[in-house]
């Protein structure tokens, strides 16, 4: 069973800080991994992805494959409780949307998360 502190950090009646278990904890962990820029964590400079590098790139096959590779590599290294099945990328004028479909190894359940990156 996976258990940890819920992210984003929040307070809930009867529980401080709010905890997170199993599928929710894994999804929060993946979201944190994908929303963290490489170099942002001092003790783990390789943790995360270079999302800002891709947000302003032209939406083409080369950009998509580079981002897919970076996401798959980060998940393989830092979230070993899952197997990434499919990584979908959709880029519009103002956002880059990343959807990761994965299988939780312990339960063999299919899950997915979606993370959006906005252009400023």
Which domains does the chain carry?
3-118 (3.10.450.40)
Confidence (pLDDT) at 86: 97
Confidence (pLDDT) at 67: 92
Q: Which residues of the chain have pLDDT under 50?
A: 20
Confidence (pLDDT) at 75: 97
Confidence (pLDDT) at 4: 60
Map tokens 């800002």 to a residue.
52
Q: Is-contact 29 79, C-beta < 8 A?
A: yes
Q: Is-contact 2 82, C-beta < 8 A?
A: no
Confidence (pLDDT) at 111: 96
Confidence (pLDDT) at 100: 98
């Amino acid at each position: 069973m996976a258990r940890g502190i819920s992210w984003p950090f929040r307070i809930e009646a009867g529980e401080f800080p709010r905890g997170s278990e199993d599928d929710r904890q894994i999804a929060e962990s993946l979201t944190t991994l994908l929303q963290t820029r490489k170099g942002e964590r001092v003790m783990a400079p390789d943790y995360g992805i270079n999302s800002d590098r891709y947000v302003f790139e032209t939406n083409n096959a080369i950009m998509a494959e580079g981002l897919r590779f970076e996401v798959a590599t980060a998940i393989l290294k830092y979230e070993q409780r899952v197997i990434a099945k499919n990584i979908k990328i959709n880029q519009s004028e103002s956002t880059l949307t990343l959807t990761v479909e994965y299988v939780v190894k312990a339960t063999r359940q299919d899950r997915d998360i979606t993370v959006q990156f906005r252009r400023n």
